[in-house]
Structure 1
């Protein structure tokens, strides 16, 4: 693979996450048959005004937290940030996002602290996996460190398989950030979770059949008839399966995840971040990239105005570019950004 700089991979990862989130959001909680009946095969944005959801805003939240504390991150830092940026502020119309986030917020507002704050019905959700990309960006080439840090973040909101899912994703990102091929990225994810965990078993099943395409991946992972689509073992396996099926190609990774339905915004966000880290920001189609602006804070009002590219720059500082880029961008054909 051609040489790709760390900053280009970081921007590819976080912009890829936001693009995947925006592409997948309209198909969230849908079956493939429902997607086909409404749009045929999704090949681009189907929303009039594509935008990221809680996946993007929580990834920015974790990225800013990590930029503030780095490897010294502790559960107390994470808990304080939840209070500062979420629990003690007015909520947006999405009321703090998904089930795991709602359960965490309710516990924090009752005065519970980590890890007790993570003891709720949805501690197994993919809410940690959806915000794990910044940890892989920060710990590029160090999957074990990425897994350690994301588990600290998750200690406030998740437990068990929810933590495993976040660790698998963060470790995969860390490997991709170092230029690992797609099979090594998957191996890095496997290496940081217990081999007998639901997450590991789902990952194995998804990747084993990935060469047969999205229907095979979905059939190998999804529990038919189960109402919840935000299961971490399922969503993480679908995302890695889509990424493996496409051999890291950005467009195909994301579109495979989107068209499998289920928790499509999260699976496409994770697949997009993996592929973006693998191939760099220039692999993201220009039309998809330019639709992504600063987040509106619809889920987390405190995140309003932040752009994922700002966070990428914060997590990969260089001597020549110590400050984050401006919030508005024009992407050149080679994928570089210039302020507007």
Structure 2
């Protein structure tokens, strides 16, 4: 194996451009911050409800309307998104599968720290394969290659390739080759393309169309996304339907009742886009709809938050929620401890320095 090319040890100085790419006004700095901060907020809001049924959520909290823990924090979703963002900042559009594999080894698999608390099944399967000496794409041949582990870390690719959904989808598939296959890749492609379009769009319809444009029309991911969005759009035209009724409609459109795993990429992506569509892109409504539907709530809310945050920018995110997001703690990936999602926005969006990003967090 060639020597790994690690992500930068710290964000570059103000004005530095870590990877060559066209400097266009598409990657609006505020939308970049909104996408990454929205991901982290959604993750932290949804974490307590992960793997729960809506009925369990209601019994415990009523309807979740904000943070339900005194010390909210993100999960592996945020930490892996930071990992992928650093990797993308280091390599840009020249990213290769070998770059991704080397980074997994240096920053995750070959480290003694662990046990990578909260890591999903796809990540654990990938780590096991890499530690056995398997290389990509064989490293993705485990029982959970269809999981939402790529979708949860796809937003940085949309930020980087703002306005270029096909390029965002291409790059995230390169990242996913190490850990995912089939529907797992499609889920990442849909999210990356959706965020890339949300970075420059004004409507939810454009975002949804972009997501569908980069996955096979007959794929499970595309069918779930269409069903969830269709249910959300129909619910908007029913004046008698309550918020709970909307959530039930979107959830029942895609969830496989009785199936034990909640991290299915087609399901999670469908729920996230369904929540985004039901809320017409409003940030608070998007993430709270995702959270209250349960299942893999941290991931669905993180994806919905990235989409809505990219569409509306930082002003769309309630200030108390934004202020609650600090640097990640490294509970899953110790090598990512100390990074803030706004550092990643500063690295990926032309014209946004890390110092500016940090100021926005305060």
Relative to the length of structure 1, the TM-score reads 0.94
Report the equivalent of 2:259: 226
Alpha-carbon distance in 1 for matches of 2:114, 2:47: 18
Q: Does 1:121 align with 2:143?
A: yes
Q: Does 1:280 align with 2:313?
A: yes
**1:46-195 equivalences in 2 (<5 Å):** 46-95=68-117, 97-195=119-217
**1:297-312 equivalences in 2 (<5 Å):** 297-312=330-345
Residue of 276, 284, 288 corresponding to 1:255:
288
Q: Which moved more, 1:54-63 or 1:94-103?
A: 94-103
Alpha-carbon distance in 2 for matches of 1:228, 1:238: 15
Residue of 251, 258, 279 corresponding to 1:246:
279
Q: Which moved more, 1:83-92 or 1:195-204?
A: 83-92
Report the equivalent of 2:355: 325
Q: Does 1:205 align with 2:227?
A: yes
**CA apart distance, 1:309:** 0.1
Counterpart contact for 1:96–1:300, Cα < 8 Å: no
Q: Does 1:267 align with 2:300?
A: yes
Alpha-carbon distance in 2 for matches of 1:234, 1:241: 10
RMSD: 1.5
Residue of 26, 35, 38 corresponding to 2:60:
38
CA deviations 1:304-331 (Å, max 9, x no partner) are 000000000100132xx5x4127865xx
Report the equivalent of 2:347: 314
CA deviations 1:162-211 (Å, max 9, x no partner) are 00000000000000011241011000000000000000000110011103
**Is there any run of 5+ residues in structure 2 with no aligned partner, and where?**
1-24, 236-245
**CA apart distance, 1:47:** 1.1
Alpha-carbon distance in 2 for matches of 1:87, 1:96: 15
Relative to the length of structure 2, the TM-score reads 0.88
**CA apart distance, 1:4:** 10
Residue of 47, 51, 59 corresponding to 1:25:
47
Alpha-carbon distance in 2 for matches of 1:147, 1:136: 8
Aligned length: 327
Alpha-carbon distance in 1 for matches of 2:93, 2:357: 26
Counterpart contact for 2:26–2:162, Cα < 8 Å: no
SS in 2 for 1:57: helix
Counterpart contact for 2:26–2:200, Cα < 8 Å: no
Alpha-carbon distance in 2 for matches of 1:96, 1:247: 31
Report the equivalent of 2:328: 295
Counterpart contact for 1:91–1:299, Cα < 8 Å: no
Counterpart contact for 2:33–2:357, Cα < 8 Å: no
